[in-house]
Chain A
Amino acid sequence: MRYEAPETMKAAAQMLAKAKGAAFVLAGGTDLLVKLKSGMIEPDLVIDIKRTKGAYDIKKTATGFAIGAAVSGAQLGEDRVLKKAWPGVVEAANLIGSKQVQGRCTMSGNLCNGSPAADSVPALFAAGAKVALAGPTGKRTIPIEQVPTGPGRTSLRKGEIIEQILLPKRPPKSGDAYLRFIPRTEMDIAVVSAGVNIVLDAKGTVKEARIALGAVAPTVLLVADAAKAIVGTKLDDAALEKLGAACAAACRPIDDKRGTIEFRTKVAAVLARRAAKIAYSRAGGQ
């Protein structure tokens, strides 16, 4: 195995594009190293992107926030401005693993690892995040929901690397939240999870909403019908009921030792309703 730590994303992307054999991007390594050591993967080349320019930057831009690909969970949690603007996203990222894992894990890695139970991903879907990709021949930006295509799979082309995760600017009267169900209190993989982002109008009526579910389908799901169910309402009980029903209808979970289909479907509706209430009150709704 060869280890490279290029200084620019462009160089990293070109290296990745040219690589013969199995080549992997390395961010925090909390998924990749586990796979490497268990023999699940046998890389010929590992490209560490933590030394690329701007990899650790959290930038406030004209259009929102740009989060570098190496920014760790711990670093996100320490950024007061980001946490105030996107509490749901930061909460979700901070649920990943232990304090030790937080010291390394990144949202880009969480996304590219491709787990339908990845904690930061439903929150990023709900936030309407985009990803800025560096490729061997140039850059492109795509909506985050276009990235995962199945368990462990993404739509990234050969040589493409996430350079930044882009969060939109917060409109006034808006808020987000993320909740997951795990049988323990920490250090566990989500059995079901839900991320909600809400924008209110001046009167406190829901103007826009995005609702995403984790661990109930091969990829994280954006549930448009659940968002539709609450737009134009003040999140009264009838609207919450409809939101829950739309979430339950969207679930296509697996049955395993961690949760049955019935359980996951029911809990998805409950968590989405609860997360919506938190997002609503964070947006200033009453």
Chain B
Amino acid sequence: MSIKVSTTINDDTVDFVCDESESLLDALRNRIGLTGAKEGCGTGDCGACSVTVDGRLVCSCLVLAAEAEGSKIETIEGMANGNELHPLQRKFIEHAALQCGICTPGFLIAARALLKKNPDPSEEEIRFGLAGNLCRCTGYDKIVRAVQDAAREMRGA
């Protein structure tokens, strides 16, 4: 059976129809055409599907699209301001904090949520804060450095 869902995604009103058992991730990718969030595992372990729902960081693979009715969703597609990249996005490029890039949208969304709660995290806090995001390529060090550098810039330090 299908169900109609009304949401706000990256500040745009988005209404869509989906199956009742469909995940928010599948709806974003296959119905709405927002393919930034990736499916790495589908079981909440890798964080590649990270988005925020009403300000909360979640794995969109573990949310039913139907649950998003009336919610405000933010995805990687809304992170840059037009052509101007978010400081985290810029620092990921500068520090070469990505290789294949499949984990990157999830890391960026999770890192933004982390810095919102804690603008000046220690290395340990960054590693704990991003423990729900897996990367098979970079070995994490460059990601941690990129987040530290972006945090510094965002604090104006």
Contacts and interface: CB of A to CB of B under 8 A. Distances in A.
Q: SS class of chain A's interface: helix, strand, loop or mixed?
A: mixed
Contacts of A26: 64, 67
Given A3-B64, A5-B69, A34-B44, A103 B23 contact: no
A103 B132 CA distance: 12
Contacts of A185: 128, 131
Given A97-B132, A99-B113, A99-B114, A36 B63 contact: no
- Which of A2, A30, A33 is most buried by chain B, counting CB atoms within 10 A of its CB? A33
Q: SS class of chain B's interface: helix, strand, loop or mixed?
A: mixed
Given A29-B63, A99-B132, A34 B43 contact: yes
B110 A37 contact: no
A74 B43 contact: no
Given A36-B21, A187-B131, A98 B66 contact: no
Interface residues of B, number: 32
A100 B20 contact: no
A187 B131 CA distance: 7
- Which of A46, A74, A99 is most buried by chain B, counting CB atoms within 10 A of its CB? A99
Contacts of A46: 20-21, 64
A5 B70 CA distance: 12
Interface string B57-95: 111011110110100000000000000000000000000
A37 B42 contact: yes
B40 interface: no
Contacts of B104: none
A104 B58 contact: yes
B110 A1 contact: no
Interface in B99-145: 110, 113-114, 128-133
Contact of A100 (B1, B3, B21, B58): B58
A185 B125 CA distance: 12
Given A2-B1, A48-B67, A103-B57, 14 more contacts: A3-B21, A3-B66, A50-B67, A74-B57, A99-B110, A99-B114, A99-B129, A99-B130, A99-B131, A100-B47, A101-B62, A103-B53, A187-B45, A187-B131
21 contacts: A1-B20, A2-B1, A3-B66, A5-B67, A26-B67, A29-B63, A29-B67, A30-B44, A30-B62, A33-B64, A37-B61, A38-B43, A46-B20, A46-B21, A48-B64, A48-B66, A50-B67, A97-B132, A98-B133, A99-B57, A101-B59
